[in-house]
Amino acid sequence: MTLLLIIIYIVFIGLGLPDSVLGSAWPAMFPDFNLPVGSQSFLTVLISSGTVLASFFSAKLINKFGTGKITAFSSLLSALSLLGFSISNSIVWLCLLSLPLGFGAGAIDAALNNYVAVHYKAKHMNFLHCFYGVGVSLSPYLMSYALSFDNNWRLGFRIVFFILLAIAIVSFLALPLWNKTTSTPTEQQKELQPQSLSLKQMAKMPKVRIAWIVFFSSVGLEFLCGIWGCTYLVSAENLSESSAAKMITLYYLGITLSRLISGFISSKFSQQKIVAIGYGVVGIALAILFLPLPPIVKGVALLLIGLGNGPTFPNLAFLTPKFFGKEKSQSIMGTILASCNIGILLVPPMFSVLAQYVGLQTFPLVLALIYIVMAVSTIFYLKPIKRTNFTLPLA
């Protein structure tokens, strides 16, 4: 179990690598393809669409092939997609490769989130997403190294490809380990064959619908801060570009750090308490954004939002098998991750329209509205536990 967990952590580093490599390479890419700078958003939509598609079909795929094989093949699919990016000479090929890149990431995300929630303690779920943060932080550094050689962004994609290929090979070699994680053949058969629920069936479950709202709003808030935070600090708060960029870097480090801390304290606090503390931090940060304070303080507020919102996903995702049962959790986890990606697809672009016609000064207000939706839906999501006197075990 320990060796398999290490491999899962490594796979999640690989999951984070592609998520930030395109954005790091794009300033050097779009001139080579004679494209407008805004074309990246189209590729991002295709990648996210592939992720949503994989999330919806994750339970059926895992039921047929097993978590280990899905993880290994999806890692290989992601690696090959990035290799394709490195040799592409047309936007058409970039578009065609974006879908399998997103599909591979979505399959891994849905499979391993549920697997860790079922087989491991809460601290491991937090550490899992901390390792994802390592991958997201590492790929811009690798791309910057490649760009130092005459803006050779293709080299950057190839470096990430070789890392993902190595991770895929390790995943294939580790396939026998997946058969050793259950006590009996009967338990193993049950866990490798999750109950596949249709979207219609899950939509009829009130708690599932609330979960979709919770994760949609939480991830929407996270990406809205990450994508628009720098522009807000520069254009609305008159912070310098370099200082704003540093603040957003700290924002992402805050997310990673908070998940690391959450993993360490999960043995002393329940997932509900950790999330509640985080929501309190986010509330304080939003209050700061509304106050007439120096721009640098507003930047610190974004860091606090990252610290507070960071533990939300891993801790609430960890509760999925306990709320819905191990048999149903894979199907529901898939739709939860789909709702996350829909939040990524919709929230930042919707704010861009609002910012264009109303102004960037609406940024704190929009964050506050999303936060209210997130907080209220989370209260309703956790409320049945208190009503039935159901106590969740500490990790």
Residues 245 and 152 in one domain: no
* pLDDT tens figures, 35-62: 886 677 788 889 989 999 998 888 888 8
Residues 132 and 59 in one domain: yes
State which of 154, 174, 192 marks the end of a domain.
192
For the chain, what percent of residues have pLDDT higher than 90?
53
Which residue in the block uniquely carries the two structure tokens 């578009």?
A: 95
Q: Would you state the structure tokens that stand for residue 164, as one six-digit string?
A: 């993902």
Q: What is the pLDDT confidence band of residue 241, given thresholds at 50, 70 and 90? A: confident
State which of 156, 176, 192 marks the end of a domain.
192
Residues 182 and 151 in one domain: yes
pLDDT at 183: 42
Q: Would you state the structure tokens that stand for residue 143, as one six-digit string?
A: 């791309």
Measured CA to CA in angstroms, residue 86 lies from 34, 81, 201 at distances of 16, 9, 42
State which amino acid sits at residue 16. Answer: G
pLDDT (mean) for 196-217: 92
Radius of gyration of the chain (CA): 21
Least confident residue range of 123-132, 187-196, 290-299: 187-196
Which residue in the block uniquely carries the two structure tokens 């590729």?
A: 43
For residue 394, tell me if it sits in a domain.
no
How far apart are the C-alpha atoms of 76 and 66, rounded to whole Å? 16
CATH number at residue 186: 1.20.1250.20
For residue 382, tell me if it sits in a domain.
yes
pLDDT (mean) for 106-115: 92
Residues 39 and 177 in one domain: yes
Measured CA to CA in angstroms, residue 178 lies from 174, 183, 211, 265, 292 at distances of 7, 12, 29, 28, 55
Residues 243 and 206 in one domain: yes
Q: Would you state the structure tokens that stand for residue 239, as one six-digit string?
A: 């912070």
Measured in degrees and rounded to the nearest 5, phi and psi for residue 44 equal -60, -40
Residue 95 in this model has a pLDDT that exceeds 50: yes
pLDDT at 388: 38
3-state secondary structure the chain: CHHHHHHHHHHHHHHHHHHHHHHHHHHHHHHHCCCCHHHHHHHHHHHHHHHHHHHHHHHHHHHHHCHHHHHHHHHHHHHHHHHHHHHCCCHHHHHHHHHHHHHHHHHHHHHHHHHHHHHCCHHHHHHHHHHHHHHHHHHHHHHHHHHCCCCCHHHHHHHHHHHHHHHHHHHHHCHHHHHHCCCCHHHHHHHHCCCCCCHHHHHCCHHHHHHHHHHHHHHHHHHHHHHHHHHHHHHCCCCCHHHHHHHHHHHHHHHHHHHHHHHHHCCCCCHHHHHHHHHHHHHHHHHHHHCCCCHHHHHHHHHHHHHHHCCHHHHHHHCHHHHHCHHHHHHHHHHHHHHHHHHHHHHHHHHHHHHHHCCHHHHHHHHHHHHHHHHHHHHHHHHHHHHCCCCCCCC
Residues 40 and 141 in one domain: yes
Residues 174 and 81 in one domain: yes
For residue 20, tell me if it sits in a domain.
yes
For residue 156, tell me if it sits in a domain.
yes
Q: What is the pLDDT confidence band of residue 392, given thresholds at 50, 70 and 90? A: very low
Residues 137 and 114 in one domain: yes
State which of 171, 192, 213 marks the end of a domain.
192
Torsion-angle region of residue 389: left (phi > 0), alpha (psi -120 to 50) or beta?
left
Residues 205 and 179 in one domain: no
Domain hosting residue 262, numbered range = 199-387
For the chain, what percent of residues have pLDDT higher than 70?
92
pLDDT (mean) for 153-164: 94
For residue 284, tell me if it sits in a domain.
yes
Considering the entire predicted model, what is its pTM? 0.81
pLDDT (mean) for 152-159: 93
State which amino acid sits at residue 158. Answer: R
pLDDT at 35: 85
How far apart are the C-alpha atoms of 55 and 331, rounded to whole Å? 9
For residue 276, tell me if it sits in a domain.
yes
